[in-house]
Every structure is written in C-alpha cells, then in structure tokens.
Amino acid sequence: MKKWREYERLVSALTAEEYDKEYTVIPNARIKGFISQRKRQLDVLVEYRFNSDLNRRIIFDAKDRKRPVDIKEVEAFEGLMKDVGARRGFLICSNGYTKSALRRAQEHIVIKLLSSDQIDDISIGSWDMCRSDSCGDGLIMWDLTPGIIIDGTVYIQATGKCDSCGKFHIWCWSCGNRICIDYESELQCSCKGPWFWLTSIEPDCDEIGEQYESHYLILVLGNGNYHIMDRRPI
C-alpha cells in the first residue's frame, strides 16, 4: 500500500478508537461543500452516527510530509472546514509544524503530531478487502456495533465502510459471512436471520438550516422495528 494512504488509514483507525460508538468514523469521505457546492475529499470525517448534527462534525487532514506544516496549510484547512460546516478540525502531521502555524490554528483547529515511529507500532492488517465487484482496491474499516437482542438472543453485528467506493459492509456474526450491500438496496444474509438490511439516501436537514443528504444503513427486524446502524453524508 502507498505510504500516504497507509498514513491516512492509520489516522482513521486511531480516530475510531478515540470516539464513542455514537460517532461514525468515515475514512476518505467525499461530501458536498455548502459554499463551493463541489465534492470535497476528507481524509477522515467524524459524524454523529444516527442523525444529522453538524455541531458534531469533525474533520481530519493527515499530512505525511517531510517538512513541517506551515501557516498556509492551516489556512487552507480552515477554508475546507468552513466549506463543509465542520466545527472542529485536526491536522495530523508526521514532521512537526511551524510556530506561526500553531498560533494561526487557534482553538478550533488542533495540530497533532503522529510520527512514523508511532505508525510502525500500529497495524491495519485487520482491514479487509472491499467485497464490491466494481471496487478496485478499497479496504473496509470495521466497526463493532452494540448487540441487537431478538427474542432474548443477542446477535452481535459488525458493520463497515469501504474507504474507496464508500459502500457499507456487514459482518454477520451468526454465520460469519462478510457481505457488501449496494447503494439503495436490500439484503438478507444467506443464514436467514429474522432481519434484513436496507440502504437508502435520505435528506438531512440540520437545525441551522443546512441541507444535504446521507446514505443510511438500516437494520430491519422481523417485527417491523428498525435500527439505524450507520450513516455516511454525501
């Protein structure tokens, strides 16, 4: 794997460890900028898992550079934060930052150092290949979700997102299958548990009035109840 990509994925993995399960961590996200109206690439996007809440939107930029991060990069990052409506941002750099960059960052931008040595300590070997036929080299970041209880039995499910095509994945712990679920479709695992999965694009409207859309991953139970398991803004 290319080194910069590995660095980005490691930042995603570390981020996922730091946040509560009510947050979803999306590696290599692409969302529409509110100001630019264009798709913006984000190395890591952290969002509220169940609903739209821009107050909780946090973005990460992973800069694996030979030189320190400078003031211009902080300003460009601040522009990106504004465009996508992120309240907080983290600039992760591998080779330090200048004093003026740190001053310019102020409170809403955190500059963090993550050196190559630290990277060597962590492994993303557990990341799986994407299961979509149309995806080239995507990797899945798995997320253990709280167990779902049906008729007194706890079913533990893991869900994941591809870092390339963005498709949701499901790891069925009843039978061990790992499956990719397409955009806007339904899927039942071959073990035929009392549930099925659904993906759909839903409009999101934040309290501050910004409108956008998200892909939702929904678990529909046999009794008609459903749970939002994950979401990914687009």
Binding footprint of Zn ion on the chain (CB under 5 A): 130, 132, 135, 138, 162, 164-165, 172, 174-175, 177, 189, 191
Closest contact distance (angstroms) between CB of 135 and Zn ion is 3
The H or E element spanning position 99 is helix 99-105
Nearer to Zn ion, 132 or 159 (CB): 132
Nearer to Zn ion, 89 or 138 (CB): 138
- Say if residues 170 and 161 touch (Cβ distance below 8 Å): no
Nearer to Zn ion, 76 or 156 (CB): 156
Closest contact distance (angstroms) between CB of 125 and Zn ion is 18
Closest contact distance (angstroms) between CB of 191 and Zn ion is 3
What phi-psi label fits residue 221: left (phi over 0), alpha (psi between -120 and 50 degrees) or beta? beta
Nearer to Zn ion, 68 or 138 (CB): 138
Task: Give Dmax (Cα) for the chain.
Answer: 59
- Say if residues 215 and 199 touch (Cβ distance below 8 Å): yes
Closest contact distance (angstroms) between CB of 73 and Zn ion is 29
